Structure 1
Amino acid sequence: MTINTPLNLNLQESYRQLAQQLDAAPHGERGALRQAFEKMHGVSSQTVYRQLKQVGWETTRKTRSDAGSTSIDEQTLQEIEAVTRLSQRANGKHTMPTTVAVSMLAGSGREINLSNSRLNQLRRQRKSTAKHQKQASPHQQLRSLFANHVHQVDPSYCLLYYAPCGGQKVQKFVDESDMYANKPENMEKVSNLKCWRYVLTDHYSGSIMVRYYQSKGETSANLWDFLLYCWQSLDSRPFRGVPDIMVWDKGSANTSGAIKNALDALKIEHIAHMAKNPRAKGQVESSNNIVECHFESRLKFEPVNSVEELNQAAEAWYNAWNANLLPRQDSRLRRRGMTQPIARYELWQTILRTPEKLRELPPIEMCRYLLKAEPKPKKVQGNLDISFKHPAAPRSQQYSLKGLAHVVIGEKVAVAPLYYGDCQIMVTISDCLGEEYKHVLEPKEFDQAGFAIDAPVWGEEIIGMADTEVETRNKASDRTAFPDMDLEQIKKAKAKQVTPFEGKLNAHSHLKEIEQPTFMRREGSNIELTEQYQPAQRKPLSRIALKRLVLAALGRPLSIDESQELEQYQDVFDEDIPQIMASLLQPVSPLKLVK
């Protein structure tokens, strides 16, 4: 009976024999033995040395002093790695081999004196080949502490659509081959009929909720309706309650301001994961795959005729899946750290051991109000209070902002009501850089006389309010202007109008030393005023007006001579009256008799 020995075993035995021959060969003859073996078996010297090493033989040749080094400089090698990495597509495909990178860099003046095979060998040693470059970065696995601690939500386009009405209102599946980017007209045909799958998963228990919506795309209304559906209490399932944290992507519908405000009002921390990083919410991505493979695959064999029927079937399926009640199918949750698998609903119900962790969803009407309620700007009063009308309060209430950073009297802060708590509100304060700071506040309490309970009392220790940011900056400015003085000394110095900066600040005297340039002087054109801007011509006093003014000045009736003298004046104005009076009152010299 002939026994066929595998070829690799024969070669392995041949390498062992060669190793024995090399050990026994005198110095100088090992090369001839190795070359003869290479010629007989048709292998390279590198293969021979590699196989000899596998059978336990190593050369006694002294290691070269330059072993592990290369003649190419580090910068050029990094540039080769960089250009090949930048030629990687989003799907991981590399479009630039090493040969093209070397050719391009050599044409740009880089000195590359190694072969492409040697460069590829160096890249394998450095873990920088295309295979290494497209490897995913290590990820950190996060844990949740209890059921409803973290919910993850993700909408995705479903390859299922429905005709809008009539006898064609039946289920259809989209042919993926028709949905390529180079066939947009095919996608347009079903643009109004798209069926969107919304999936939510509880990170702790792995419970899955799914619901379908017929829409052109993702919308805030559909997302909010889906969240309310998942969080409300239904008789058909134990799962309910709002989470402490909700993780979603950065889609336009998900990051709408209205939903963010509503989540803030419910005290739900919303975390949007980094774009193009599906591993950040890998559990809900896996849940989408579970829904597609374990539920939607059934629809081809038992079609449904509308989205309403689809949602009824989906609810029946996810309840059976979460409770591990599917016939001949084990849907229990399995994690590597678990001692044994457990039904998802069973693990979720551990939250009932700590009822304070289960936060029931408010009435649907209140939730829809929270979606419409936008933060309102409120002015900060002089005592650092704001006034706000909470929807659960009969009237406006006062909230104190004492001790909060970046609060400025007279400025406005954004205020939104919170559902949980006694008329709590969320105040958003922005600093000078636009960074927002959120604070949860409760209304102030007052006594029957209308005084705040925490206000200081007359005759007892009165503690002043802490400095605001503006006051702190003002005091720092005063200390700069009046060095080596405390606040009381600065106050006195201001009252005495002491010169700031110790009088060393040259405020205006240096302006006298400025040398003005010599300007060429040119005559400008005269402005000719129109008639409406010309001064009106004055009219002289009439004889009657003149006599009245003189009569009033004299305080007596005019004599005949004075009246006759006034008749001689013409073109008289008001400013001429003093001169006329002087002439009238001048005594007349008596006539001398000439003999």
Structure 2
Amino acid sequence: MNLAEIDYLRGIAQQLKAAKHGQKGRIIQDASTFLSISNAELYRRLENVGYTTERKTRSDKGKSVITEDHAKLIGGMIHIATRANGKQTLSIKDTLTILSEQGLAPQVSPTTIGRALRQYQFHPEQLRTPKAHIQQRSLHPNHVWQIDASVCVLFYLPKGGLQVMEEKEFYKNKPANIKKVENQRVIRYVITDHYSGNIYLEYVSGAEDSKNLIQCFLNAIQHRSYQDPMHGVPHILMMDKGSANLSGYFLNLLERLHVTYITHAAGNPRAKGQVECAQNIVERKFEGRLSFIKVNNIDELNEYATRWRLAFNQEFVHTRTKQTRNQLWQTIQGAELRIAPSPEICRDLVTTMPTTITVKGDLTITHTVKGHGNKSYDVRHIDGVYPKAKLDVVVNPYRAPDIDILMKDSNGNPYSITVSPRKLNSAGFAIDAPVINQRMDSTPDSQADTNRKIISKEAYNADTEAQVDAARKAKQAAYQGKVNAMADIDNTEILQNLPRAGQQLITEQTRRELAPINHVEAAKQIKALLSEQGLAEFWTASSYQTLVATHPQAVPVDAIREIAEKIINSQKTTHLRVINQ
């Protein structure tokens, strides 16, 4: 309200206080007409200037027919029907109509519903507010960088060079027009140093892929000039979960450079809000100028971008730090600045994978480092190493030809140990190796050595290595009285197998006579042969008596099969005769 309205309302308030019975209605009506507002609105404005009625407060003041459940349902329907771009497709009035027809909401005015929604904090405007956030801090320059890519929607690269994209021709809701320039888009990569706010900007043509991402990141970490101070490898890189960001090549590069990467949850760009803000700065403070500049290609565009970026980082004072971005970045300490390897080594690191190397008997390994040749490394100080152990090795990008040995702790978390090459003399011997007949050194016991000694002492019930050697020399059995080496054999029950009739093989060169067998054994073998044909029931007591009568003393071995075959053939003949009858 302005001063004139306040004075007018105060005058109305005085008239109401002095009015007699029956006169207040006319005063209220005249004032409402003069201000073109409702009576209820007039009373609300009068309350703002201190006027209060002398009416008794209603007993149901503060109560509402609209419950929290009503507000939750109404607000929920409106919220669910709101599009991702914020467009509300269902109004409070329409929602109230739908629900009141079903008896799910009281029949009150939309204005009343709106007040109740705000009271219960289910109003669409309240539900659209972003979630509260916590500001995080970084420790020093290059502690945390943020990277983000964005399609430069204002400009595309047709055959005639970079031009301004006309909104009517390339409107976002016309997919066919967007398809025309899909492969000619310009991608803007922005990298920020979280501590100082320093900005690195680079444009690429084509897609937002791992190749372009790697190129921009490698260019950002290199030392470019003394006018452009921000360089070096960050300790942490924050980015979104785009396919290029999570590509194997880029993640491998980060791992080789010892960069920890953090990806924010989908739909939470505030997690890297600084670089999102930097994208807006670039659009407003740099790309707005391109409508007045003829740019022929990407290289020219990057030249203009570099000139603008150098001036911006040097001149514009950051609202948080009250310093320019370059001033604050240059407070970086030597221990905090990790100088990037040369571009050639960095490009090699993109595809460099760990090499598995076998430890030699003297607890050393050899590895070839590009540009430094084959080097020998002493690994005896590494916990758990032993001859023939396998170690995963990569080149340390900051200290080549030093190498990093990749390990895992007891919880499975990866870590690395940096090892320098052994120093050798002109004859190829390690300068710290013991000289023959002057000093005798022994390597410390590995875990395998320790376990081997423990096993030997327990096996021979010995307290010292000398006792173990004595027991072995005396051919003493290991684990005597503790382990029965034949336990599995002793516990195996050997089954009685039924004999199988066979034909005795007799050669002309070595002919020998087999001893006849008794009647009982012969009967067993004959019955077994009959069982194979399913005719065991035809071996009867009379069959046994016939066997004894035919061979009163004993039964020749070669007669067993003949007797069985006669019984089998006789049964087959009987079976055929019955069928023919």
Q: Do Structure 1 and Structure 2 share a fold, with TM-score over 0.5? A: yes
Work out the CA distance in 2 between the residues paired with 1:576 and 1:314: 109
Query: Is 1:20 the counterpart of 2:17 in the alignment?
Result: yes
Distance 1:443 1:290, change over 3 A: same
Q: Distance in 2 between matches of 1:109 and 1:414?
A: 70
- In structure 1, give the amino acid aligned to 2:326: Y
Per the alignment, residue 369 of structure 1 pairs with 348
Contact 2:210 2:247 in 1 (8 A): yes
Q: Using a 3 Å threshold, how does the CA distance of structure 1 residues 14 and 247 change in structure 2: closer, same or farther? A: same
CA drift of 1:122 comes to 0.8
Partner of 1:424: 404
Report the residue type matching 2:174 in the other structure. Answer: K
Q: What is residue 66 of structure 1 aligned with on the other side?
A: 60
Contact residue 364 and residue 380 of structure 2 kept, 8 A: yes
Instruction: Tell me by how many angstroms 1:135 deviates.
Output: 1.8
Corresponding residue number in structure 2 for 1:316? 307
1:463-482 equivalent positions in 2, closer than 5 A: none
One-letter amino acid of the structure 1 residue matched with residue 327 of structure 2: E
Q: Give the residue type in structure 1 aligned to 2:347.
A: R
Deviations, residues 286-341 of structure 1 (Å, cap 9, x unaligned): 222332333333333331322122222222222222222xxxxxxx22325x4xx4
Which residue of 152, 155, 159 maps to 1:160?
A: 155
**What secondary structure, in the 3-state scheme, does the structure 2 residue paired with 1:314 have?**
helix
Normalised to the residue count of structure 2, the TM-score between the two structures is 0.65
CA gap 1:116/1:9 in 2 versus in 1, 3 angstroms = closer
Q: Decide whether the 8 Å contact of 2:197 with 2:318 is kept in 1.
A: no
Q: 2:405, 2:416 within 8 Å by CA — same for their partners in 1?
A: yes
Post-superposition Cα deviations, 1:432-488, rounded to whole Å, max 9, x if no partner, equal xxxx733233459998589655859999xx999xxxxxxxxxxxxxxxxxxxxxxxx
Give me the identity figure in percent: 33
CA distance in 1, matches of 2:240, 2:209: 13
Equivalent residue of 1:122, what SS? helix
Task: Quote the offset at 1:118 in angstroms.
Answer: 1.6
- Provide the residue aligned with 2:189 in structure 1: 198
Q: CA, structure 1 residues 288+182, in 2 after alignment: closer, same or farther (shift >3 Å)?
A: closer
| TM-score normalised by length of structure 1 | 0.64
The Cα offsets for residues 237-262 of structure 1, whole Å up to 9 and x where unpaired, read as 32211111212122111121221121
Map of 2:559 onto structure 1 = 576
Q: Verify: 1:248 aligned to 2:234, yes or no.
A: no
2:240 paired with 1:264: no
Give the Cα separation in 2 of the matches to 1:417 and 1:439: 14
1:276 equivalent to 2:267? Answer yes
User: How far off is 1:541 after superposition?
Assistant: 10
AA aligned to 1:57 is Y
Q: Deviation at 1:56?
A: 1.5
Deviates more, 1:147-156 or 1:270-279: 270-279
Q: Is the 8 A contact 2:407 2:416 kept in 1?
A: yes
Whole-Å separation in 2 of the counterparts to 1:416 and 1:66: 77
Q: Which residue of 2 aligns with 1:104?
A: 98
1:518 equivalent in structure 2: none
Amino acid at match of 1:348: W
**Which of 130, 133, 136 matches 2:127?**
133
* Mapped contact 1:202–1:208 kept (Cα < 8 A): yes
The residue number in structure 2 matching 1:439 is 415
Shift of 1:226: 0.8
Are the aligned partners of 1:149 and 1:243 in contact in 2 as well (CA < 8 Å)?
A: yes
What amino acid does structure 2 have at the position aligned with 1:131? E
Match for residue 224 of structure 2 among 207, 228, 234:
234
Looking at structure 2, the residues matched to 69 and 414 of structure 1 have their Cα atoms a distance apart, in angstroms, of 72
**Selected match of 2:324 from 311, 334, 343:** 343
Give the aligned residue type for 1:439.
Answer: Y
Q: Does 1:306 align with 2:287?
A: no
Q: Render the CA deviation track for 1:489-515: whole Å, top value 9, x for unaligned.
A: xx9x9979xxxxxxxxxxxxxxxxxxx
Q: Is the 8 A contact 1:261 1:375 kept in 2?
A: no
| One-letter amino acid of the structure 2 residue matched with residue 160 of structure 1 | F
SS in 2 for 1:153: strand
CA distance in 2, matches of 1:364, 1:93: 48
Cα offset, 1:222, TM superposition: 1.0
Q: Distance in 2 between matches of 1:386 and 1:51?
A: 88
Which of 286, 301, 305 is the aligned partner of 1:295?
A: 286
Distance 1:400 1:95, change over 3 A: farther
Per the alignment, in what secondary structure is the counterpart of residue 95 of structure 2?
helix
1:405-431 per-position Cα deviation (integer Å, ceiling 9, x unaligned)? xxxxx9999876653465224446898
Q: How many residues align?
A: 451
- In structure 2, the partner of 1:221 is 211
- RMSD of aligned alpha carbons: 4.7
